[in-house]
Amino acid sequence: MQADSLPSYSKPSLAPAASVILIIDDNPKSIKALSLLVRDFGEVLFATSGAAGIAMAMKSKPDLILLDVEMPGMNGYEVCRQLKADLSTRGSGIIIVTSHSSVEHEVEALEAGAADFITKPLNAPLVRARVKTQLLVKKQADALQRLAEQDGLTGIYNRRYFDEQVAQEWRRHQRQRSPLGLALVDVDYFKAYNDEYGHQDGDECLRSVAQCLTLALRRPGEQVARYGGEEFVIILPYTDNVELLKIGPWLCEQVRNLKIPHAKSAVAQWVTISAGLASGIPSIQSGPDHLLGLADKALYQAKANGRNQFVVAEKNLE
């Protein structure tokens, strides 16, 4: 039997945004000259010191950095090393820009982590060609990374991506002593749905629920991933139990509103979800698995209580 009136589905967009180029140079004339050469490749940002450049790179996540060597305080090689050592900036391509043309300086640039090397005075066609090449390399690397992070069935993030992101969020919230929330979501009676409507409609159902949960996210930093089978997980930064009591019913309502028929559900005529939510301030003594375990126990309780509902874990990480 075929399910009727399944909502139309389009994969959540993980398409790349326009390129961002960051120029780090203490000389305004050099910044202007480089900007004029590369501005048609994307958005151009600039910083006039190494420290300011690192801060801006962490904030803007540029695709490419044009980095001057001779700067007061921190030279370009040291800036390059720091950028490549940091998880949040190591993905940016770096081209060293310098008036030195010796092999030794070029080797030092490459050993610091730079992808290419440009000498002054600037040769316009050469600068543009090398910038274009590095932006292409970055786009190709990003495309491969997106494939590695994407769930093949639903188009949302996969378990691998979730594991990496929740570890990062754990460390960030630990440093800031802020509450981190997680939600585990399970599609109710999904095996019965597959048995009734077939696996093709089952796959379409999962896609629709995945898209629905993605669109239901309302705050920056919230991310949903497929955890496995018919289970999804949501990262909820800066979220305490008070907020979870609002998020739980909101998620359940959004999926119910899809009105995907489910003739074999014991709780509703439509596809529904059960959700377990947990929150706490991360500590050094525990890891993300602890919070995930609390959310999993809450999900088990929601299912034991009859499904089509949410439960917020009473215990937290404190």
Catalytic residue at 106? no
CA distance 226 to 154: 8
CA distance to 63, 117, 169, 241, 250, per residue, from 237 (Å): 25, 39, 7, 12, 17
Contact between residue 315 and residue 291 where contact means Cβ atoms under 8 Å apart: no
Helix (H) / strand (E) element for 310: namely strand 310-312
- Distances from the Cα of 22 to the Cα of 45, 74, 86, 133, 169, angstroms: 5, 17, 17, 16, 26
Buried b (16+ CB within 10 A) or exposed e, 168-191: ebbeebbeeeebbbbbbbbbbbbe
Active-site annotation holder among 108, 169, 196, 230: 230
302 touches 275 (CB < 8 A): yes
Q: Does the bond joining 72 to the residue before it have cis omega, within 30 degrees of 0?
A: no
Active-site positions read: 230
